[in-house]
Structure 1
Amino acid sequence: MNKARKGPAFLVIFLMLLLIVAYIYAAYQTVKPARGLICNGVFVETVNVGGMSEDEARTAVAQYRDEYLQRTVEVDVNGKTVSATLEQLGYNCEVGDVIAKAMQVGKDGNPFTNYAKIREIATTPLVYKLKYDAKEKKIRTFVNKKCKKKCAKAKNAKVKRENGTFVYTDAKEGSTIDVDSTAAQIKKAVEQAKSGDAIRVKADVTIQEPTVTKDLASRCKDKIGSFQTNFNAGNVSRSKNLSNAARLINDHVIYPGETFSVHDTISPLTEENGYYAAPSYSNGEVVDSIGGGVCQVSTTLYNAVLKAELEVVERSPHSMVVSYVKPSMDAAIAGDYKDFKFRNDTEVPIYIEGGVYSGTIYFNIYGEETRSDDREVTFESETTQTMQPGADKITYDKTKPASYTKVTQEAHVGYKAVLWKIVKENGKTKKTQINSSTYQAVPRYVTKGAAEGTPAASAKPQTTKKATKEPKATAKPKKTAKPKATVKPQETAVPAAAEPTTEAQ
C-alpha cells in the first residue's frame, strides 16, 4: 500500500523539478542573448532600440534627437509670424543616460526577475522619454531681437512748417512685447508639444497709444518767442558755422515734457559735420577752433526761449563777454562742459524755426499762446561790478627787432551781471532775477621784439588804458505773453584759468 502511494508522489515531484529546470533553462536562454543587447520592446521616444547594441542605439537616438531639434516654433506677433528651430532656441539633449538605462533593462536582477521583465515588455513596450534642456537666455534673446522687431513704437503726430504754413500728420499706435511672458510661453509650449504637432505661441503684446494726437499737435500754431542777433558776414568761416548750426536746430519739435539740448543737436563740431575753424575763447585767449561761433547760435536761441517763457534747464555764460548781447544774456557751448538745455513744460508740442540771412541769425519758437494780451515781458541786463584787465601780458620774439611791438589780443573788461525778468500785467509789475553771471577780466596780449635775445629796458609791462567796452544788445526786447513757472536763478562762477574746454564764442 505504501509502495503504491510513493510511486505517484515521486512522479509528481519529478515532473515539478523538470518544469523548474525547463523554466530556468528557458529564462537563461531568453536572458543570455540580451546581455550585450537591448531587450526587445524597449523604445526611446518612437525609436525601437530593442535588439540594438549600445552604439547602435546611441546613433539611432541621436539621429532622432537631431531631427527633433529642427522642429519649428512659430510665434504670432501682431498677426505676423516669427519662426525659429528648437536648436536655434538653444534646446539640446544628451542621449547617453537614457541609452544606459535601456541597456540595463532585464539585466539588473536575478534570472527569474529579468526573465519576467523581458516577457512583460515583449507585450507591453517600455518607452523612455528624452529630456530636452532649454537655454532661457537664448529664448529671451530670440524674443527680444526677432519678435520685438514686429512691434513698432507708437508715433506721435508730427508738426512741420512748409512755406510759412503748419502741416500736421496723423499719430499711429504702436505695441510692446512682454519678453519674460512670451519666453515662458515658448518654453511651456515646447514641453507640452506632442510628436508631429505644430508648436505655436501667441506673443504677449500690449498696445501702446501715442502721447500726442493730431488734434493736440494742431494746437502748435502761435509764435510765442522770437529773437535775433547780428554777426559779421565777412568772416566766412564763422558765418558758415552759424548757418550750419542753425540748420541743424531748425525744424525740431519738442514734445511735452521733453528736454532739448543744443550741444546734442549740433554736435559733433567737426569738419565732417560741416564746421570750419573760427575764433573761440580758450583759457582767456581768442583762438581758432572747429565750430567757432556756434555760441552765438545757442545765445540767440536762449533769448527766444526766455521770451517764450519756457523752462531753462541748463545755461552757462562765456568766460569773457561777447559782443552780440549784453552780459548775462549769453549761453555758451563748450564740449560736454557747457550746454544750453530747455524743457517743454507746456501741454502742446513746441516747434523751432531758425536760420540766417544778411548777417543776422534768428530763432522763432511756436506753440500755443495761453498768455493774456495785456501781459508785457521784458528782460534787463544789470552790471553789478566791473573788473579792469590789469597789466599787459607780454611775449618776446627773438626773431623780431627790439623796436617791434604788436597787440595780438585786445584786453577784456571783466563783469558781474544779473539778468532781470520784468512782467507787467493787470496794472502790476513784477521783477524776477533769471541768472547771475561772472566774466573774467583778461589783459591785453602784446608781442615785442628781442632780436639780441635780451628784452629792452623800456619793455616794462604797462597797465592797459583802453579795454573792450561792455557790449550792447543787438535786439530790442519785444512784447511777449504769459509766463509759465519762473526759472530759478543760478550763480555761475568764473571758469578756472586752466579750464581745458574751448568755448565756441
Structure 2
Amino acid sequence: MTRKQARMRRRRIRIAGFCLAGCILILGIVCGAFHHYVSQFPEDKIAENIYVGTVDLSGLSKKEALEKLAGQKKADQKQTVSLTVEDQKAEATLEECGFDYADVKANVKAAMDYGKSGGLFGRYKSLRKLSKEKVVLSPEYTLDQKATENILEERAVPFAKHAQNATITKSGSGLQINKEEIGETVDKSGTIKAIKKHLNDSWDHGSFAMEAKVKEEQPSVTEADLSTIQDELGSFSTDAGGGERWKNLKNGVEKLNGTVVMPGEQISVHDVTAPYDEEHGYVQAGSYENGQVVDTYGGGICQVSTTLYNAVLFSELKVVKRYPHSMLVSYVPPSRDAAIAGDTKDFVFENNYDTPIYIFGEIDDDNQLCFAIYGKETRDKTRKIEFESEEVSTEEPGVKYKADAELALGEMEVTGSAHTGKEVKLWKIVYENGKQVSKDVINESTYSKADKTISVGIKTKNSSAAAVVKEAVSTQDKAKIQAAISEASSMESSSEQ
C-alpha cells in the first residue's frame, strides 16, 4: 500500500466515524422523542380514542371501563327482538334471551394494553395512530341457548303452520281416517344463530325485527299407521248421573275422545284433562277431600279416569300409574277405580301393542259414560278376562260429634256421611278355550273409613249453657250429650225469665 492509499483509508475511517457518531446522536434524539411521547400515556389508564363496540373507553381505568360496559349491557338488554312467523309477531327482550357480553374482561384488557407492549417504535406507531383514527375492539354478543329456545317454544313455535297428524273418528258407519299433512315449525337453532349473527355483524344497539327460520315438520302419525286400527280391544261404561257433575264428566270425556296412542307411548289422564277450572270448561261439583265430599272444580273427573281404567284393563294395556280413592266409590267394584288428585294421584297407561290404539269416549243416549279402545287384535280369539274384587279386611265407621257455633243450641244435624274402610285385592282371571289359564293380583287398594259426623248446636246467648253442651260433645258420648242438651235448655229458659 502506498502512502497515498494509506492516507485515503485513514480519511475514510474518520468520515465513517463521524457519520456513525451522527447517526447515534440522531437515533438518540429520535428515541428520546419517541419515549417522551409514549410516556405521556399512563399505564393504569386506557389511551384516548379506544372503543369497545360503540362504547368510548378513552382515559378510563379498568374498573371504570368495566362499569361503563356494564351500563351499556343494561341498555342493550332492554332492546327487543321481533320475529315474524306466518305473518304473526313474537317478541322478547334481549334480557329474556339471556343476552350478554361474552368477552368483556378480555376486551377491557386489550383496550388497557393497547400501545403499552412491544418495542418503542411499535408502541409509538400504535399510539400515534390514535390521534388520527379510533381503534374499535369488537365484543362478542351472546344469548343463553336454553332461555332463548324456551322463548321461541312459547312465543314463536305456536304461530307456525304445523304438520297435521292423521286422525281417526268413529261414527255410525264405523271408523274413518283423515290423512296427515306435512307442515312447518320454527327452526330454533337456526333462528338463534341468525339472531347472534345480526347482533355481532350489523346491530346498532336498538330493537330489531327479522324473519324466524323455519323447517319442514313431518307428522308423527300417518294414515298408514292408523290403517291397522280395526278391532275393539276393550270397553267399559258407567252411569253418568246428572247435575253439575255431569258437565264435568262430559268435558273430561271429550278431552280424551279421539286420542291416538302410538306403540310405547304413555298417556296421563291428568295431563290430557287438566287444568280443572272454569276457563277450561269445568264447574264445581262433589269430590272427596279429607274424608268428606266437597264441591271443587272438576268434581267427577275421577269417574272419567275410572271408566277409562276399566276399558284399559279389558284391553290389557300396560298400567303405569293407578291410585285408589281415599274412600270407596259407588260406580265400580272396590279396587277397580282410578283417582285423579292434582299432582299426587294420576292414571297413566302405556300402549304395549306393536300398533297404534284409538280411544273413543262419549256419554251416549242412555246417559252411559262409555270408553272403547280400538287397535289391532292379536290375542287368541278364545281369550276371555274377568276381574274379581277380594275384600281382605273391613273397618266399620263410627259416629263423631262436633260442636257447631252456627247451629242453634241443642239442634243435631248430620254433616258428614259414613264410609266403610276396606283393604281390597283385585284379581285378573284369564280363560282360554273355556279353561282358566291364570289368576293374578293386579292391584291392592286401601280405602279409609269415614265416621258419620253429627254437628251439635251451641249457638245461644247463655255462655254457660253453651259450655255445658260443648263439654259433653268433647266426651263423644251420645247419652252425655243428650243429657247436656236438656240441662242447657233448662239453663237457657231460666235465664230468659
TM-score w.r.t. length of structure 1 = 0.61
**Residue of structure 1 equivalent to 2:15:** 15
The reply on whether 1:387 has 2:403 as its aligned counterpart is: no
After superposition, residues 129-208 of structure 1 pair within 5 angstroms as 138=143, 157-161=165-169, 163=171, 165-170=175-180
The Cα shift of 1:284 comes to: 2.3
SS of alignment partner, residue 371 of structure 1: coil
The Cα shift of 1:308 comes to: 1.0
Task: Write the distance in 1 (CA, Å) between the matches of 2:163 and 2:266.
Answer: 18
1:352 to 344, 353, 359: 359
- CA separation of 1:427/1:364 partners in 2, compared to 1, >3 Å: closer, same or farther? closer
**Residue of structure 2 equivalent to 1:100:** 116
Instruction: Tell me if the contact between 2:230 and 2:375 (Cα under 8 Å) persists in the aligned partners.
Output: yes
The Cα shift of 1:428 comes to: 2.5
Task: Write the distance in 1 (CA, Å) between the matches of 2:307 and 2:370.
Answer: 7
The reply on whether 1:224 has 2:240 as its aligned counterpart is: no
- CA separation of 1:29/1:361 partners in 2, compared to 1, >3 Å: closer, same or farther? same
Instruction: Tell me if the contact between 1:278 and 1:288 (Cα under 8 Å) persists in the aligned partners.
Output: yes
- CA separation of 1:101/1:440 partners in 2, compared to 1, >3 Å: closer, same or farther? closer
Percent of aligned positions that are identical: 34
Instruction: Tell me if the contact between 1:225 and 1:307 (Cα under 8 Å) persists in the aligned partners.
Output: yes
SS of alignment partner, residue 369 of structure 2: strand
Instruction: Tell me if the contact between 1:35 and 1:107 (Cα under 8 Å) persists in the aligned partners.
Output: no
The number of aligned residues is 385
Structure 1 gaps of 5+ residues are 39-52, 67-86, 109-117, 119-128, 191-205, 463-505
Task: Write the distance in 2 (CA, Å) between the matches of 1:351 and 1:381.
Answer: 28
Describe the superposition over 1:288-323 as per-residue Cα deviations: whole angstroms up to 9, x where unpaired: 222221111111111111111101111111222111
The Cα shift of 1:89 comes to: 8.0
Task: Write the distance in 1 (CA, Å) between the matches of 2:164 and 2:435.
Answer: 40
Instruction: Tell me if the contact between 2:182 and 2:216 (Cα under 8 Å) persists in the aligned partners.
Output: no
**Residue of structure 1 equivalent to 2:92:** none
Instruction: Tell me if the contact between 2:34 and 2:120 (Cα under 8 Å) persists in the aligned partners.
Output: no
Give the letter for the 2:440 counterpart.
Answer: T
Structure 2 gaps of 5+ residues are 56-98, 126-134, 201-214, 480-497
The reply on whether 1:461 has 2:481 as its aligned counterpart is: no
Give the letter for the 2:478 counterpart.
Answer: P
The Cα shift of 1:324 comes to: 0.9
2:376 to 368, 381, 386: 368
Task: Write the distance in 2 (CA, Å) between the matches of 1:448 and 1:141.
Answer: 60
- CA separation of 1:154/1:218 partners in 2, compared to 1, >3 Å: closer, same or farther? farther
The Cα shift of 1:4 comes to: 8.2
- CA separation of 1:413/1:216 partners in 2, compared to 1, >3 Å: closer, same or farther? same
Instruction: Tell me if the contact between 1:171 and 1:212 (Cα under 8 Å) persists in the aligned partners.
Output: no
**Residue of structure 2 equivalent to 1:423:** 430
**Residue of structure 2 equivalent to 1:74:** none
SS of alignment partner, residue 247 of structure 2: helix
Moved more, 380-389 or 90-99: 90-99
- CA separation of 1:95/1:444 partners in 2, compared to 1, >3 Å: closer, same or farther? closer
Instruction: Tell me if the contact between 2:284 and 2:296 (Cα under 8 Å) persists in the aligned partners.
Output: yes
Task: Write the distance in 2 (CA, Å) between the matches of 1:378 and 1:60.
Answer: 88
2:443 to 402, 419, 435: 435
Task: Write the distance in 1 (CA, Å) between the matches of 2:441 and 2:263.
Answer: 26
The Cα shift of 1:360 comes to: 2.4
- CA separation of 1:168/1:89 partners in 2, compared to 1, >3 Å: closer, same or farther? farther
The Cα shift of 1:226 comes to: 1.3
The Cα shift of 1:435 comes to: 1.7
Give the letter for the 1:288 counterpart.
Answer: D
Instruction: Tell me if the contact between 1:153 and 1:176 (Cα under 8 Å) persists in the aligned partners.
Output: no
Task: Write the distance in 2 (CA, Å) between the matches of 1:378 and 1:5.
Answer: 132
SS of alignment partner, residue 223 of structure 1: strand
SS of alignment partner, residue 100 of structure 1: coil
Task: Write the distance in 2 (CA, Å) between the matches of 1:10 and 1:388.
Answer: 134
Instruction: Tell me if the contact between 1:311 and 1:342 (Cα under 8 Å) persists in the aligned partners.
Output: yes
Describe the superposition over 1:402-451 as per-residue Cα deviations: whole angstroms up to 9, x where unpaired: 3x443333422333332222222134213222222222333322234556
Task: Write the distance in 2 (CA, Å) between the matches of 1:140 and 1:397.
Answer: 59
Describe the superposition over 1:203-241 as per-residue Cα deviations: whole angstroms up to 9, x where unpaired: xxx9998765542232233321211101321xx221112
Describe the superposition over 1:351-371 as per-residue Cα deviations: whole angstroms up to 9, x where unpaired: 222232453211122222212
Instruction: Tell me if the contact between 1:317 and 1:438 (Cα under 8 Å) persists in the aligned partners.
Output: yes
- CA separation of 1:33/1:302 partners in 2, compared to 1, >3 Å: closer, same or farther? same
Instruction: Tell me if the contact between 2:335 and 2:389 (Cα under 8 Å) persists in the aligned partners.
Output: yes
- CA separation of 1:290/1:107 partners in 2, compared to 1, >3 Å: closer, same or farther? closer
Task: Write the distance in 1 (CA, Å) between the matches of 2:47 and 2:147.
Answer: 31
SS of alignment partner, residue 390 of structure 2: strand
Moved more, 274-283 or 93-102: 93-102
Moved more, 328-337 or 4-13: 4-13
- CA separation of 1:139/1:58 partners in 2, compared to 1, >3 Å: closer, same or farther? farther
Task: Write the distance in 2 (CA, Å) between the matches of 1:89 and 1:418.
Answer: 63
- CA separation of 1:414/1:102 partners in 2, compared to 1, >3 Å: closer, same or farther? closer
SS of alignment partner, residue 105 of structure 1: helix
SS of alignment partner, residue 116 of structure 2: helix
**Residue of structure 2 equivalent to 1:281:** 288
Task: Write the distance in 2 (CA, Å) between the matches of 1:102 and 1:322.
Answer: 87
Higher relative contact order (CA 8 A, sep 6+): 1
**Residue of structure 2 equivalent to 1:414:** 421
Give the CA RMSD over aligned residues: 4.9
- CA separation of 1:335/1:106 partners in 2, compared to 1, >3 Å: closer, same or farther? closer
Describe the superposition over 1:332-361 as per-residue Cα deviations: whole angstroms up to 9, x where unpaired: 122222211111111222222223245321
Instruction: Tell me if the contact between 1:98 and 1:130 (Cα under 8 Å) persists in the aligned partners.
Output: no
TM-score w.r.t. length of structure 2 = 0.62
- CA separation of 1:14/1:371 partners in 2, compared to 1, >3 Å: closer, same or farther? closer
- CA separation of 1:175/1:7 partners in 2, compared to 1, >3 Å: closer, same or farther? same
